[in-house]
A and B are shown apart, each in its own frame.
Chain A
Amino acid sequence: MNSIVIGRYIPGNSWIHRLDPRTKIILTFVYIMILLFANSWGTYLVATIFLAGVIYLTKQPLNLYWQGIKPILWLILFTVILQIFFTDGQPVLWQWRFIKVTLPGLINAIYVVIRFVLIILMSTIMTLTTPPTSIASALESLLGPLKKLKVPVAELALMLSIALRFVPLLMDETQKIMNAQKSRGMSFSTGGPIKRAKAVVPLLVPLFVGALQRALDLANAMEVRGFKDADHRTRYRILAYHRADYISGLMMVLFIIVFSLINLKGW
């Protein structure tokens, strides 16, 4: 279960790690948006160079990023096949009945792969370098204006951070229950899909019962420590933009300018 890289946080002290989580969320979002406008080799090249720079700054082994892409290889492959075989245009390189491979289709397929990989990598960088609770408090801060619309932003952020805190715990518990049942002859990996689905039920029941018990205990612990509601609280971790955040904002603006120029020229 430790092989899942998406959403996992790796502690570190790199330049990217130290950025304000809001900066990382906004810039990741902007980068992905910009990427949707990419339509030429030149634009993909600058986007890739930019991403490579960011990866370098995270000081994490490249293998980690490869681990991040691996689980979605099938999805990429599927999209590529769709792109290759079902894009109209000239010149046609190969045809069999209604299935044909065209040059624009081939180019599009490559574009899609690059775009996919870039988006996944950029999001992986964000989650890899930002602790989940920081993401939660950044979202709380960024969604702050919604409070005026009576959206319980503070409660949602607290729920999110508690949920994230219990993920490893529930994973452990799942593993324990599975082991306990395996030791009594249960098999989770044999049989057809229906048999396997049935095997999950005796796993889920104790897991849910356990989770409910934890929730009750946690509610008691929170109440005893004076929790009343999420709004009337101060914050231990105050988010603040520093020089590095402004510099990275500036880098992003620079990237957007270069990207737009190349995009306009159609290189």
Chain B
Amino acid sequence: MEKAITIKNLKYQYDQNQPLFDGLNLNIEQGQWVALVGHNGSGKSTLAKLILGLLVADEGEIAVLGQTLSEDSVDEIRGQIGMVFQNPDNQFVGATVADDVAFGLENLEVPSEAMSAKIQAALEVVGMEEFTDREPHHLSGGQKQRVALASVLALEPKIIILDEATAMLDPDGRQMVQATLKKLKQLYGSELTLITITHDMDEASLADRVVVVNDGQLVMDGQPNQVFAQGATLAKIGLELPFSMQLIQRLDPRPQNYMNQQELLAWLSPLNK
């Protein structure tokens, strides 16, 4: 199967003496849900911007769905990738929810008659269909991020990147967005590659694969339970384990594998008797 994203020997630096990426290699399969985790300044957001061509790499090759990123292909590649940013307010272009979803469609020169149906469909997927004519300052952060997700979905991308999309949200909003992501994954399955950039390990635990980045290096790469099993290494680079894992470590006797909250609850409940 064709790779969704291939990164070969990527080099990039913000200023002369401090290379951020010095020969990074990463492959992401189509249909995978990959969580890219790392503490602030580890380079994970920069990586997303490089993939989208918002920043230009100094050296190396980035290919999206088999197409190498270059000045000529950047528009086409952006057409395949949708991105949701951190700040819910700063990516809301339209005056109302519907206008915001329409913005991307307008750019693609979708005929006006076809827009309403697409907007409605995208808003239904994220559960915001009742807010069509709402203005952004009457929405919560979680709702705005779901609208941002709908704006991206309306463009029917193959890959969606969420760059710390839940970092500025309250717990409720975060949960709403994460639930929406799970729903997306169920709906589109292997049609959609999802990349969530985050430092929230509970969010990372939802993914199929967790890639840990530190100082521009890939430190760990594997299924969530494999990565979370190495708590000491994670702690060393300033990352916290998911809540359930922190709890497991304080238990005695304790389960040998990583468990999410539900699994852990199930494991604990017989002991309660």
A interface residue numbers (CB < 8 A to B): 131-133, 161-162, 164-165, 168-169, 172, 213-214, 217-218, 220-228, 232-238
Contacts A214-B89, A214-B90, A217-B85; A234 near B52 (Cβ below 8 A): no
- Can you report 13 A-B residue pairs in the complex whose CB atoms are below 8 A from each other? A133-B94, A133-B99, A165-B94, A169-B89, A213-B90, A220-B91, A225-B82, A226-B104, A234-B105, A234-B110, A236-B98, A236-B99, A236-B119
Check if B151 is an interface residue, CB within 8 A of chain A.
Answer: yes
Q: Chain A nearest CB: distance from B155 CB in Å? A: 7
Residues of B within 8 A of A233 (CB): 106-107, 109
On whether the beta carbons of A225 and B95 are closer than 8 Å, the reply is: no
C-alpha spacing A168/B89, complex, angstroms: 11
Q: A161-B95, A169-B137 are in contact. List 17 more A-B contacts (CB 8 A).
A: A133-B95, A169-B89, A213-B90, A214-B89, A217-B87, A220-B85, A221-B85, A221-B148, A224-B81, A225-B151, A226-B104, A226-B107, A227-B103, A227-B107, A234-B109, A234-B115, A236-B105
Contacts A162-B93, A164-B95, A232-B109; A223 near B155 (Cβ below 8 A): no
Closest to A167 in B: B137
Identify which of A132, A133, A225, A237 contacts B104 (C-beta below 8 A).
Answer: A225
On whether the beta carbons of B90 and A217 are closer than 8 Å, the reply is: yes
Residues of A within 8 A of B94 (CB): 133, 165
B interface residue numbers (CB < 8 A to A): 49, 52, 54, 75, 78-79, 81-83, 85, 87, 89-96, 98-99, 102-112, 115, 119, 136-137, 148, 151-152, 155
C-alpha spacing A237/B87, complex, angstroms: 27
On whether the beta carbons of B54 and A223 are closer than 8 Å, the reply is: yes
C-alpha spacing A64/B136, complex, angstroms: 24
> Which of A214, A227, A232 has the largest number of chain B CB atoms within 10 A?
A227
> Which of B54, B82, B91, B109 has the largest number of chain A CB atoms within 10 A?
B91
Closest to B148 in A: A221
Residues of B within 8 A of A164 (CB): 95
On whether the beta carbons of B83 and A131 are closer than 8 Å, the reply is: no
Residues of A within 8 A of B110 (CB): 234
C-alpha spacing A110/B53, complex, angstroms: 64
Q: Chain A nearest CB: distance from B238 CB in Å? A: 25
Contacts A162-B93, A233-B107, A236-B112; A225 near B155 (Cβ below 8 A): yes
Identify which of A221, A224, A225 contacts B90 (C-beta below 8 A).
Answer: A221
Q: Chain B nearest CB: distance from A160 CB in Å? A: 11
C-alpha spacing A238/B115, complex, angstroms: 11
Residues of A within 8 A of B82 (CB): 224-225
On whether the beta carbons of A224 and B54 are closer than 8 Å, the reply is: yes
Identify which of A133, A213, A224, A236 contacts B78 (C-beta below 8 A).
Answer: A224
Q: Chain B nearest CB: distance from A71 CB in Å? A: 23
Identify which of B89, B90, B106, B136 contacts A234 (C-beta below 8 A).
Answer: B106
Closest to A232 in B: B109
Question: 10 shortest A-B CB distances, which residue pairs?
Answer: A236-B102, A217-B90, A221-B91, A225-B104, A226-B107, A133-B95, A233-B106, A224-B83, A214-B90, A168-B137
On whether the beta carbons of A228 and B106 are closer than 8 Å, the reply is: no
Identify which of A132, A213, A221, A232 contacts B93 (C-beta below 8 A).
Answer: A221
> Which of A214, A226, A233 has the largest number of chain B CB atoms within 10 A?
A226
Contacts A161-B95, A165-B94, A165-B95; A226 near B83 (Cβ below 8 A): no
Q: Chain A nearest CB: distance from B115 CB in Å? A: 5
Residues of B within 8 A of A225 (CB): 82, 93, 103-104, 107, 151-152, 155
On whether the beta carbons of A220 and B54 are closer than 8 Å, the reply is: yes
C-alpha spacing A214/B108, complex, angstroms: 24
> Which of A172, A213, A221 has the largest number of chain B CB atoms within 10 A?
A221
Residues of A within 8 A of B103 (CB): 222, 225, 227
Residues of B within 8 A of A238 (CB): 112
Residues of A within 8 A of B99 (CB): 133, 236-237
